[in-house]
Structure 1
């Protein structure tokens, strides 16, 4: 592996996290961490899923996700129901309260990104989009999806 590439990726990560204000303990102005917000978003996007789906998608520890789910259940943000086909599994989905919270997070995130890129020209936005697509394409080809924590 090229040491210079590793250093540049780490530099970019620090820049990106700082620019997007992801160093905060809580995501945006919410009561939720970045990971909790991502869990909400994944459940929101799928509508109804099981914990294994979220673990695979976000590469989370099952125990950590289990604690998040329990906390969300206690706050009535999501609900679990036993699978009709396999009693060992539960389906999880957001409650109306959970959907509203997630929609507010999505809106606030979109507004924040909009503020960051508002001064960019159309050409710069297109270049930024293409650059992000290129990064994803390159890294997706080079990742071992079982273990790619950075």
Structure 2
């Protein structure tokens, strides 16, 4: 069992890493998207999530909250909605051309953020960082953090 000090150090790391990644910034990478909007856009693009329910499940969000964010992304022209061909009560979603453009921009800036974070580390320490992240993913997340 971890000591209170160990737990406090883990929590301090989480707070610091959240700050470094910009999770609490009002806008995602100088876009007009909030962090939740940017995250949903990335999930739809990366994991090809085709329904609001899939988005809510993947991100463990309340269905109505996920639907409101998807509606905002639709209103911004980044996500297209269309009726499901298999279920008339459901809709399918996908990124629009503009959505893919914003997706690519956020994805690239996110990669650059991580590259900048570790750029001052030696190749050996970068490998150590990578292995540490993979170890955390294996220990904490059932799907390896994918």
TM range (shorter): 0.7 to 0.9
Unaligned residue ranges in structure 1 (runs of 5+): 142-150
Paired position in structure 2 for 1:61: 62
**Which residues in structure 2 correspond to 1:1-150 (within 5 Å)?**
2=2, 3-47=4-48, 49-140=50-141
- Compute the displacement of 1:21 (Å): 2.6
Alignment length (residue pairs): 141
CA contact (8 A) 2:37 2:70 kept: no
Whether the aligned pair in 2 keeps the contact of 1:44 and 1:99 (CA below 8 Å) is yes
Residue deviations 1:59-103, cap 9 Å, x none?
A: 111111111111111111111111111111111001000110111
The DSSP-based 3-state class of the residue aligned with 2:58 is: helix
Moved more, 23-32 or 83-92: 23-32
The Cα of 1:48 is off from its aligned counterpart by 5.4
> Post-superposition shift, 1:39?
0.4
CA contact (8 A) 1:78 1:94 kept: yes
2:87 & 2:22 partners in 1: Cα distance? 41
Q: Quick one: distance in 2 between partners of 1:98 and 1:31? A: 12
Question: Mind listing any 5+ residue stretches in structure 2 that lack a counterpart?
Answer: none
Please report the RMSD computed on the Cα atoms of aligned residues, expressed in angstroms: 1.6
Higher RCO structure, 1 or 2 (CA under 8 Å, sep 6+): 1
- Distance in 2 between the 1:120 and 1:56 partners? 36
